[in-house]
Structure 1
Amino acid sequence: MNRYDVVIHMTEPRYWVMLGLSFLVGMALIRRYNGLKGEAKDRGLVQMGAVLLTLQVGYQIYMVLNPHFEYSIHRSLPLHFCGINIWLLGLNCFWRNRWVFLFTAFMGTIGGFHAILTPQLTVGDALPILVHYYINHAALVFVPIVMAQAYGMRFPEWGWVKVYLMAAGASTVMAGINHSINVCFPSDVVANYMYMTEPPKVNNPFVFHDWAWPWYVVPLHVALVLHLLLLNALYRWRLPSGRGGEAWSDGQRGGRLPLWK
């Protein structure tokens, strides 16, 4: 049976192998996509979205049908921030919506980056789960970069504040969902989506394992704000926003309706 909350430490060879592969594949994706033009670029984005969504469906089927895996509503649903973001990211390859981009570029990049640096596999480390974990989180980091470079997406001014408020609201709701699952479906394991029941087990300067809920959440919110500010500065430095802080470049307006609604 699968183990829960498997932490991969820096002392393990697979930590460095998967970290290196995630970076190399991500850079190759950016390089490959930068070479696409016109309809080929649009087809590439749709194909990328189809692959991401197929992986998510296949992952759920694998967990349900695998006789060696104990599927649990307490741990197996895609209700962590990264789980929600990978679905939104895949769907946005079809939708091409600027507000979905804003949320996934901020929250997905932050979550994916930390998930690769301090991996904690909540439902075990079997090879298919391990590979899925790194594909998902590498995609969360690199696909928004592809979207920004290929389609001229920009962060609107104060967009990071809106994302923080959405994230804070979502995590507060998730605390209630976790509690409802734990009360209605008692189990040896607890529902801990978005880590709103107990803190992550990884070593991180913003994670205080000895603090009780809800106090351990406070430094996580501080960390989120700091990361949002840093990522906002990086994106706006590399890809300055349009006039008025609009979320797409002026170049996307010419000759046709904007791709990003």
Structure 2
Amino acid sequence: MGQYFSLIYAGEPIKLFGREHLTALAIITLFCFSFLYFRKVWGEKEKKVVRWILAVLIVVNESALHVWSVYWGIWNIQTMLPLHMCSVIIWASAYMLVTKNYSIYEMVYFLGLGGAMQAVLTPADAAAYNFPHFRIMQTFIAHGLLIGIAIYMTVVEGFRPTLQSFKRIFVWTNIYMVVIFFLNLAIGSNYLFVAGKPEFPTLLDMLAPWPWYIIELEAIGFAIFFLLYVPFLIKDWKTKQVTAS
């Protein structure tokens, strides 16, 4: 059992879109699609219980990563502070689930959903591990829950982003990035990967060298936000057409 919690993994690393990876993606997909059924079944009492369960799960899962890192002596302020986008959204999403805070929902929808989808498709930071090792399990659970929470709040609780949400989150994300850039300079970190490309392989390797890839990331981020908003843009357009007719 200890081998599945070890720092150095002796087994074969996960193969991108191999059997294990595709199985994990299928489980996450089924988890999210299940909300289409349960939204017709759950009442307010059941929804509250589900929100609390999701909040506890994501907090415990993220806390376990910090405990594991401390145990193996790899926890440090340069890599483990909750400042990467998905880390921020993990803790924010737990608060949102309990309070149903709409402003945080906007963050979870655009940043959580957009970032977590990329993370489960290319789990680069845990690519050296494979199922059922703790590190790869923790990665897929964290990001799978982020995707599920954003979809749950939209499909079951009836929340939805607006055009103002789109603009607001894009602006605040850029402000946050500037703050993190200077923090990176102060403590020698690379949060948000704005100080340089990560050491492990990622999609950033396909972009221009630093600092030019940051501009490309801006365009990619805008495109992802837009794609996430398109379903609601279409819905609003159809509603206007019906109203006009």
For normalisation by structure 2, the TM-score amounts to 0.81
Q: What are the ranges of 5 or more consecutive residues in structure 2 without an aligned counterpart?
A: 1-5, 240-245
Q: Once superposed, what is the RMSD of the aligned Cα atoms?
A: 2.7
- CA pair 90-34 structure 1, distance change in 2 beyond 3 A: farther
Output the CA distance in 2 between the equivalents of 1:202 and 1:9: 13
For 2:102, the equivalent position in structure 1 comes to 98
Deviation at residue 53 of structure 1 after TM alignment: 1.6
Q: What are the ranges of 5 or more consecutive residues in structure 1 without an aligned counterpart?
A: 183-190, 244-261
For 1:71, the equivalent position in structure 2 comes to 75
1:85 paired to 2:92:
no
Output the CA distance in 1 between the equivalents of 2:96 and 2:45: 17
Whether the aligned pair in 2 keeps the contact of 1:33 and 1:44 (CA below 8 Å) is no
For 2:3, the equivalent position in structure 1 comes to none
For 1:228, the equivalent position in structure 2 comes to 225
Output the CA distance in 1 between the equivalents of 2:82 and 2:36: 26
- CA pair 49-203 structure 1, distance change in 2 beyond 3 A: closer
Deviation at residue 30 of structure 1 after TM alignment: 5.4
**Match runs of 1:83-232 below 5 Å:** 83-121=87-125, 125=129, 127-182=133-188, 191-200=189-198, 201-202=200-201, 204=203, 207-208=205-206, 211-212=209-210, 214-232=211-229
For 2:243, the equivalent position in structure 1 comes to none
**Which has a greater percent of helix?**
2
Output the CA distance in 1 between the equivalents of 2:141 and 2:187: 28
* Secondary structure of the structure 1 residue equivalent to 2:196: coil
Whether the aligned pair in 1 keeps the contact of 2:120 and 2:140 (CA below 8 Å) is yes
Whether the aligned pair in 2 keeps the contact of 1:86 and 1:140 (CA below 8 Å) is yes
Q: Structure 2 residue aligned with 1:61, among 49, 61, 67?
A: 67
Output the CA distance in 2 between the equivalents of 1:22 and 1:228: 21
For normalisation by structure 1, the TM-score amounts to 0.76
Report Cα offsets for 1:176-202 as digits up to 9, x if no partner. Answer: 1122111xxxxxxxx221111112454
Give the paired residue count. 226
Whether the aligned pair in 2 keeps the contact of 1:45 and 1:93 (CA below 8 Å) is yes
